[in-house]
Chains A and B, each alone.
Chain A
């Protein structure tokens, strides 16, 4: 493997990693705090892409599309929490799997009814459409750099917010001991809605950024959901640190696996890596709950 190719793939891997981190952050917090497995998280990723593509197309502004998509997915997430999923925090994991599995079917079908079965075009604004020469002999698409930048900034903000602010303290308190956090005066209900909405918005953000690279189509959320689940499990469910480390790791493994082996074999390597890590540490790399 030549050096420029190696650098390019490393950038691709890290970029996939930050996207996965955006996806898994919501997943891992929702599980860590509310004890809920949300298989429908990928639907929000899909909706983010569709909403952004539509608004950007109608208004001509990519930025407006992005903002509307993030706000809309946050609202949908909050609505889901209030209307349906909060009933499931104390139910069995099986019930949670069922309800979110049903949600996937509903979201996919509704999306198809609204936007059709044909993949949607999502054009980039001219400013970020080209490529740029990073090193001599190595061109890299500007938009991928934008994703990398946005992902890193949002990831960093999230990290600082959770590790360094009062709100983040509530969230972490909720994650490590829900009953105790509630007893010492944390408004757990609001934290729950907030975490769900934020997680949804992050998934929407990841989706709208992936839209122009991959196809905007029904079912685009599921492959990413599975990778995000792998990241969550490897990192340790409920751990933001773990999600970050595991996301970058999986991003790199996936990218290089696909280049060095075939795409299908590359995808298998991720799951093998997961199996090896879990055989060694069943609770993930950074376990939260004892």
Chain B
């Protein structure tokens, strides 16, 4: 792992505000120039940015290379989808003694999605965090596939084909299937998540987490049990990934196991690295770059994965500190 991520400062807050402001003006500009498709792209960027910021809490600040986050993203999406399915079909959801009618009200189902994915992350974190380094990577990868196959096994909810949300979803009277509503709701969620994570990594908790990533033994020697901090960060990070998945499912009215494949987890890691791991806002830039690169390359050639893969390899070989670091070095030279 690289150096200890620095304590966030005023410049980071400025970058966060700037990124949010730039994203916020995308829809009016897109409408003005007659390119409404850009709003769809921007929504995708925002949703994946949320997931990447969540992942970076453990990856960049906690030094844990998790390949589980696409799975948690999917858990969030399935919570929305399944609750809406029960609501639409008028069939109660039975969980042991509890029977719940389901709901299309996102004010209820979004928080539930965050809770369930955070819970899933905590549960799998308890096992994964008993290990570290390479074991951790492989175990989170395996857990990701477990969630993937769970999605496939849910025959009632579409199985391998995925779950189409048929009923209406609503968020305090707003309709998330409307392009603009969806975009600004997601952007608001991104803002909340960035502020939360930024506050968190600057706090005492964040300091312990960052110290754990650098030297676990020293943290222990100071009398701090590192696993507790890691697990908390992991659960929180999973909850944020779940929120992203829940938003995506609400916007697209669809969630499928394909959204949970481990390759998606790898994509999220690439986004974080592209943008730089040492800041809260870097992954937002990384997500934007990743998705625009994917869009640009795939419009040029069907074989876009070849140049894309080469870029990822080149990044691994030469750029340790992501694009931000490269730009910084270029500016300084």
| Residues of A in contact with B (beta carbons under 8 Å apart) | 31, 35, 37, 39, 84, 87-88, 92-99, 101-106, 108-110, 112-113, 222, 226, 229-230, 232-233, 237, 262, 264-265, 267-268, 271-272, 274-275, 278-279, 282-284
- Sampled A-B contacts (29; CB under 8 Å): A31-B134, A37-B137, A84-B313, A94-B269, A94-B273, A99-B316, A99-B317, A101-B266, A101-B270, A102-B309, A102-B312, A103-B309, A106-B305, A106-B313, A109-B305, A113-B303, A229-B138, A229-B141, A230-B142, A237-B134, A262-B155, A264-B149, A271-B145, A272-B146, A275-B124, A275-B146, A279-B126, A282-B130, A282-B131
Known A98-B313, A262-B153, A268-B149; 8 more pairs at CB < 8 Å: A97-B65, A98-B273, A229-B142, A237-B135, A271-B142, A275-B143, A278-B130, A279-B127
Interface: B152 (CB within 8 A): yes
Q: Are A105 and B308 in contact (CB under 8 A)?
A: yes
> Which residue of the partner chain, among A87, A105, A274, contacts B142 with CB atoms under 8 Å?
A274
| Residues of B in contact with A (beta carbons under 8 Å apart) | 1-2, 59, 65, 67, 124, 126-127, 130-131, 133-135, 137-139, 141-143, 145-146, 149-150, 152-153, 155, 159-160, 262-263, 266, 269-270, 273, 303, 305-306, 308-313, 315-317, 320
Q: Are B138 and A37 in contact (CB under 8 A)?
A: yes
Q: Are A279 and B130 in contact (CB under 8 A)?
A: yes
> Which residue of the partner chain, among A102, A105, A112, A229, contacts B316 with CB atoms under 8 Å?
A102
Q: How far apart are B268's CB and chain A's nearest CB, in angstroms?
A: 11
Query: In the complex, A262 Cα to B147 Cα: how many Å?
Result: 15
Q: Are B262 and A283 in contact (CB under 8 A)?
A: no
Query: In the complex, A278 Cα to B139 Cα: how many Å?
Result: 9
Q: How far apart are B67's CB and chain A's nearest CB, in angstroms?
A: 8
4 interchain residue pairs of minimum CB distance? A105-B309, A102-B312, A271-B146, A264-B153
Query: In the complex, A105 Cα to B301 Cα: how many Å?
Result: 15
Q: Are A233 and B130 in contact (CB under 8 A)?
A: no
Q: How far apart are A287's CB and chain B's nearest CB, in angstroms?
A: 10
> Which residue of the partner chain, among A102, A108, A278, contacts B313 with CB atoms under 8 Å?
A102
- Residues of B contacting A106 in the complex (Cβ-Cβ under 8 angstroms): 305-306, 309-310, 313
Query: In the complex, A106 Cα to B269 Cα: how many Å?
Result: 17
- Residues of A contacting B146 in the complex (Cβ-Cβ under 8 angstroms): 267-268, 271-272, 275
Q: Are B65 and A94 in contact (CB under 8 A)?
A: yes
Query: In the complex, A283 Cα to B142 Cα: how many Å?
Result: 15
Q: Which chain B residue has the least Cβ–Cβ distance from A279?
A: B127
Query: In the complex, A95 Cα to B153 Cα: how many Å?
Result: 33
- Residues of A contacting B139 in the complex (Cβ-Cβ under 8 angstroms): 233, 274, 278
Q: Which chain A residue has the least Cβ–Cβ distance from B1?
A: A92
Q: Are B305 and A226 in contact (CB under 8 A)?
A: no
Q: Which chain A residue has the least Cβ–Cβ distance from B133?
A: A93
Q: Are A109 and B1 in contact (CB under 8 A)?
A: no
Query: In the complex, A265 Cα to B153 Cα: how many Å?
Result: 6
**Known contacts A31-B134, A93-B134, A98-B316: A109-B269 contact under CB 8 Å:** no
Q: Are B306 and A109 in contact (CB under 8 A)?
A: yes
